[in-house]
Amino acid sequence: MDSIAIATLMDQSFIAAAASLQGSDEQLVELARADDRHFEQLVDRYEAKLRRYIMRFINCSPEDAEDIVQDVFINAYRNLNGFDTGLKFSSWIYRIAHNEAVNHMRRITVRKTVAVEDDKLEALAAEVDVEHELHAKLDHAKLRAAVDRLDAKYREVLVLRYFEDRNYDEIADILHKPSGSVSSLITRAKRLLLKEVEAENAGLL
């Protein structure tokens, strides 16, 4: 059998194995350390999620988010051997994304509008105890603007908790903060958001 045929069989074997692989992220990391093609599976799993998270967090353009995500995966790949597979890969990759997004935010001065799904905004409005009448008159554009006006440390915990559906322990891991601090940040962020919403709609009631 010639070398081309052997290579083809190897590729086919990998494709078949990858198609049947239903392993965890951590198992894929172990495999990726020996075969780069498994890292591509991790990229497939997280690329869209991280792009969306970055756009929500720092209000950047899709093009900027794509560049940041590429930096995230380059950083992750370079440090893959240092990842402890006893920990959660999702928190590790989100922490890298957080750091890359913050670095990008420090390099720019213009913040752009962030796109957030309406159902997520509805859930957040309910969480901050917006009065029913006020909630009924509050359009999503104004709620997006209110979120956008928050300081980055408050905006990010709201994005991670309500738009990325991360629990308190995961957020603590991503931000390198104690869970109690995360809880306090989220509580404070909701209070500040409520004030922004009430101020935005002061003339409506």
Nearest one of 182, 198, 184 to 129, comparing CA atoms: 198
Euclidean distance between CA atoms 6 and 145, whole angstroms: 58
Indicate if 118-200 has the same CATH topology as 3-107.
no
Amino acid making up residue 175:
L
What's the CATH number for 118-200? 1.10.10.10
| Segment among 6-10, 54-58, 128-132 with least mean pLDDT | 6-10
Give the pLDDT confidence score for residue 121 in this predicted structure: 62
Residue-by-residue DSSP string for 57-93: HH---HHHHHHHHHHHHHHHHHTGGG--TTS-HHHHH
Give the pLDDT confidence score for residue 149 in this predicted structure: 87
Task: Report whether pLDDT(108) > 90.
Answer: no
What average pLDDT is seen over the chain? 79
Q: Residue ranges of the domains in the chain?
A: 3-107, 118-200
Euclidean distance between CA atoms 10 and 80, whole angstroms: 24
Amino acid making up residue 113:
T
Those residues whose C-beta lies under 8 Å from the C-beta of residue 53, and which sit 6 or more positions away, are 94, 97, 159, 160, 163, 164
Label residue 3 by pLDDT band (50, 70, 90): very low
**DSSP H stretches of helix in the chain:** 3-20, 25-32, 36-58, 62-78, 89-107, 118-127, 132-137, 140-149, 152-158, 168-175, 179-200
Give the pLDDT confidence score for residue 138 in this predicted structure: 52
Label residue 201 by pLDDT band (50, 70, 90): low
Class of domain 3-107: mainly alpha
- Residue 177 has φ and ψ, to the nearest 5°, of -130, 155
Nearest one of 200, 179, 178, 124 to 155, comparing CA atoms: 124
Give the pLDDT confidence score for residue 128 in this predicted structure: 61
Sign of CA dihedral 158, 159, 160, 165: positive
Please report, rounded to a whole number, the percentage of residues in the chain having pLDDT higher than 70: 70
